[in-house]
Structure 1
Amino acid sequence: MSIDQQTQPGSIEAEATPVRRPAPTAFPYREAMSRPMIRRARKLAKRLTGKDLFPTAEQIEAFHGDMYHADPVAERFVDEVFYGEIGQERGREILKQALAHGIESIEDPPESMVALFREFEEVPEWVDPALVEAGAQIWRRWGTFLFSVAGGETLEMYTEAAVATPLSLAGGYAGDNALRRFLETSRFWIDVSEPGALLTPGSKGRATAMLVRVMHVSVRRRVADHPEWHIDRWGIPISQAYMLLTLSGGSVVPALALWLVGVQTTRREIYALIHFQRYMGHIVGVRNTWYPETIADTLRLLALVSTARSHDSGEHGAELIESFPKAFAPRGGHTGLQRLREEYNGRIYAAYSRLFMMPWTYAKYRMPNAWPGLGWIALRFPLLAAVETARRIPPIGRLHETVMVAHRESWYRAQMSGREAEFDASGALRR
């Protein structure tokens, strides 16, 4: 039975018969918003701008309600195919075949697979193809800067057990596996932002998105059944709410944060990113009750989540945070240009971790020395700012994008050392 079909006490309610639940106890937003300092800040913001610092009551309720929602269409597919008579190995084979050649190439496909691909292939009416492509183009011209800012900013949320526990149990971002899983995520970012990738049937980007969607289901169902997971405390693993935060982490947050290193993204471009992320989220199974479609609403949501954090991930969060910059350090036996490149990556990712984490969060963990990398970031800032100005001239902009795309692929290949991304989380949890 899939996690969206369970109805026993303490389990995840079926979405066909939704039950309004209180916010998970590890998301104490009411208590957080009632703090005297927060109340004063809200009053000041309303007096100066006429706007609240946080989302509306209805939006907040929608957000914490989504902490109990998963991806029922993909859940049913995984239950029927991967955990049914077909099995995981053959199930992945027919899934990849359908992604490459269409579901019509599968003889007598399972009903749940037909439903999954019907939803996957239908483009919602709200999608603006031009905006989707414009957002993807921004990711392309960011190149490896996307990897750096996304990796660094994600560390901030590893303080939350709702985020850290599934990753820790699966082992993907912990210890020696940190680099491998991060590179798989980088492959996803590359594939979905290739020209036309999200809107072209049979594209590699859409195939990668579906594999990630199914991978989320595999992790979600095993973590949900694990004794370390508590639904009343955190909602469900990899919930709609936390997938929404991941989308914000690919649009507004990096666009603003990258100004710190000289990469400039305009307001108009950020709105294209928001739309691109919304559609990318759609094809990986994100079905939010409320999606913030403006920069202001996104920042209000982030303010809410930051204020209501529990900092409850303990040693599991510490392992995830501390493993990330260390993953880029030079590896044993490597010499010459390869070792030099790893030395640079280790220092620059230590700097990015320092730059994109809050100082009070960063100070709690054992992190490598960030100052050599921070010095380099400061020295190159004027050059990057000049390039960002020059790229607004169309021919230079096209050349800049070509260079950045080539560099991100070269960086990825060098790190992978001949391996390929699998997007497979079917193995056993590590504890």
Structure 2
Amino acid sequence: MPSAEPNTVVPERMVDLETARAAHGGRIDQLARKLMVGDPLADAVIAELDRLGKEGRRLLNAGLTDGLESLGPHPPAAIAALLRQVEAVPSWVDPAMLSRGERATISVPPLWFQLCGMSSALVHTYSSPAIARLLVQTGKLTTMAPRRLLETGMWVRQATAPGGLLRGAPGYIATVQVRLLHARMRMAALQHGWDSAEWGTPISQVDVARTWLDFTLTPFHALATAGIELTGAEDRDLYAYWSYVAHLLGLEESFCAEAVDARSARVLLDLLDSTTAPPDDNSRALTTAMIGAQVDALAGGPRPLMPRPALEDLIHGLLRRSFGDALADSLGIPVSSATPFLPLLALVNSQSRRWQTLTADSAEQARRENAAGPSPDAVAALVPGGPAYHRHLHGDTADPAA
């Protein structure tokens, strides 16, 4: 059992504590404690919904759409507590920022965000054995990977769209629904023999922090290796915006308050990665399934980008370029024949990006063009029954992760 300060329970999933402590000091003990913490507000709502049934779900969905005040003088206690928290916009949030949307993500061509950003985000999430174990236990890989890819992409588009996080807007509702899906999965795991002494609380605060980094630092690092780099202003705006997403997801502010740009976010990522065991068989299975789903999505349309084998090889190369050979090897990502050509591809993207961001007008024009793709509603139509984070709050609680 790893050592920590007195009275701190350290889950067995934490590794190399002394080495990590030399770099991060007392934050290691904070990390150990947060591995045992879930999301009490969201957990209480799930218990309340199970008790109240259809009426509870109706009230919650009405509250998300129209606000707590719409529920009258005596709303259910747990639902009211959650709504108070998400409706209390922190003082540091700029309303104009929410109206503009998350401009860094919108500035990236959708094809490249899907090909490079989304792939790297999900693969890095899966590299955590604890997260991978939970996902494999609660879903079928053959059906889960395509759904998760579609649903995650739809959520990101809703959450980053101009005005998407304003109260009652699609991104605001979807983000809180994702939070409650995490709580549903946490309850299901604990009811089915999850070993908290070994793995910590399922979808702990640490796991949510990792996921948050996988939609800020991880995808934009991958995009940078492909030649699509953010300006300093875009980088700062990215973390300011996603700090509000973290608030809605129930991530404690202490985790992301110091992550104000890519440089400071890397410190947090190192804290998490340095105490995480190497990827396991579950991580490799999820990675393989996700890459297969990504290839199917990009090669299965009426005008595929390239033949399937070449596309799969390209994704392997992009992931290896982003993560490095050591992590890629441990995730089972094959060596790519595209690797020698990726620097040239990055150069082409870099030149295109330079012209795109040359002036404020050209950057805004690029964002408008990128935002003109299929709407989240059109993507939702491709997900049978709608996304899992929506379904489980509308009466379908079976297979919450599938």
Per the TM superposition, whether the score is higher than 0.5 is yes
Question: CA, structure 1 residues 113+225, in 2 after alignment: closer, same or farther (shift >3 Å)?
Answer: same
Match of 2:364 in 1: 398
Q: Per the alignment, in what secondary structure is the counterpart of residue 75 of structure 1?
A: helix
Match of 1:182 in 2: 149
Q: Per the alignment, in what secondary structure is the counterpart of residue 197 of structure 1?
A: coil
Contact 1:135 1:275 (8 Å CA) reproduced: no
Q: Distance in 2 between matches of 1:427 and 1:411?
A: 23
Q: Does 1:329 align with 2:295?
A: yes
Match of 2:9 in 1: 22
Deviations 1:63-84 (CA, angstroms, capped at 9, x unpaired): 2321111111111111112x10
Which of 305, 313, 316 aligns to 2:282? It is 316
Match of 1:3 in 2: none
Q: Distance in 2 between matches of 1:104 and 1:33?
A: 47
Give the total of aligned pairs: 384
Contact 2:101 2:164 (8 Å CA) reproduced: no
The TM-score with structure 1 as length reference comes to 0.78
Structure 1 runs of 4+ aligned residues shifted over 6 Å read none
Aligned pairs (5 A) from 1:233-312: 233-291=198-256, 292-295=258-261, 296-311=263-278
Q: Per the alignment, in what secondary structure is the counterpart of residue 253 of structure 1?
A: helix
Q: Does 1:120 align with 2:105?
A: no
Q: Which runs of 5+ in 2 are unaligned?
A: 1-5
Question: CA, structure 1 residues 116+187, in 2 after alignment: closer, same or farther (shift >3 Å)?
Answer: same
Deviations 1:369-428 (CA, angstroms, capped at 9, x unpaired): 7435x5775554333222211222122112111122224649973993787434245324
Which of 315, 328, 333 aligns to 1:362? It is 328
Contact 1:329 1:345 (8 Å CA) reproduced: yes
Contact 2:128 2:283 (8 Å CA) reproduced: yes
Q: Distance in 2 between matches of 1:410 and 1:351?
A: 29
Match of 1:164 in 2: 132
Contact 1:176 1:323 (8 Å CA) reproduced: no
Aligned pairs (5 A) from 1:383-394: 383-392=348-357, 393-394=359-360
Match of 1:191 in 2: 158
Q: Which runs of 5+ in 1 are unaligned?
A: 1-18, 40-53
Aligned partner letter, 1:427: A
Contact 1:330 1:339 (8 Å CA) reproduced: no
Q: Distance in 2 between matches of 1:350 and 1:286?
A: 32
Match of 1:203 in 2: 169
Aligned partner letter, 1:388: R
Deviations 1:136-175 (CA, angstroms, capped at 9, x unpaired): 1111112433443243244245343222111111216x23
Contact 2:380 2:387 (8 Å CA) reproduced: no
How far residue 25 of structure 1 moved from its aligned partner, in angstroms, is 2.0
Match of 1:232 in 2: 197
Aligned partner letter, 2:161: E
Contact 1:179 1:324 (8 Å CA) reproduced: yes
Q: Does 1:61 align with 2:32?
A: no
Match of 2:3 in 1: none
Q: Distance in 2 between matches of 1:417 and 1:225?
A: 28
Aligned partner letter, 1:21: T
Q: Distance in 2 between matches of 1:308 and 1:264?
A: 29
Q: Per the alignment, in what secondary structure is the counterpart of residue 142 of structure 1?
A: coil
Q: Per the alignment, in what secondary structure is the counterpart of residue 126 of structure 1?
A: coil
Deviations 1:32-79 (CA, angstroms, capped at 9, x unpaired): 448xxxx7xxxxxxxxxxxxxx33x23332223211111111111111
How far residue 315 of structure 1 moved from its aligned partner, in angstroms, is 2.6
Aligned pairs (5 A) from 1:334-349: 337=302, 343=308, 346=312, 348-349=314-315
Which of 37, 41, 46 aligns to 1:73? It is 41
Q: Distance in 1 between matches of 2:219 and 2:401?
A: 32
Question: CA, structure 1 residues 90+257, in 2 after alignment: closer, same or farther (shift >3 Å)?
Answer: same
Aligned partner letter, 1:165: R
Percent identity, please: 21
Aligned partner letter, 1:260: T
Aligned partner letter, 2:247: H
Contact 1:135 1:274 (8 Å CA) reproduced: no
How far residue 29 of structure 1 moved from its aligned partner, in angstroms, is 3.7
Q: Distance in 2 between matches of 1:412 and 1:246?
A: 25
How far residue 215 of structure 1 moved from its aligned partner, in angstroms, is 0.6
Q: Does 1:427 align with 2:393?
A: no
Q: Distance in 1 between matches of 2:148 and 2:69?
A: 32
Match of 1:155 in 2: 123
Q: Per the alignment, in what secondary structure is the counterpart of residue 337 of structure 1?
A: coil
Question: CA, structure 1 residues 371+134, in 2 after alignment: closer, same or farther (shift >3 Å)?
Answer: farther
Q: Distance in 1 between matches of 2:47 and 2:277?
A: 33
Question: CA, structure 1 residues 310+92, in 2 after alignment: closer, same or farther (shift >3 Å)?
Answer: same
Match of 1:10 in 2: none
Question: CA, structure 1 residues 349+257, in 2 after alignment: closer, same or farther (shift >3 Å)?
Answer: closer
Once the two structures are overlaid, the 10-residue window that deviates more, 336-345 or 122-131, is: 336-345
Once the two structures are overlaid, the 10-residue window that deviates more, 133-142 or 217-226, is: 133-142
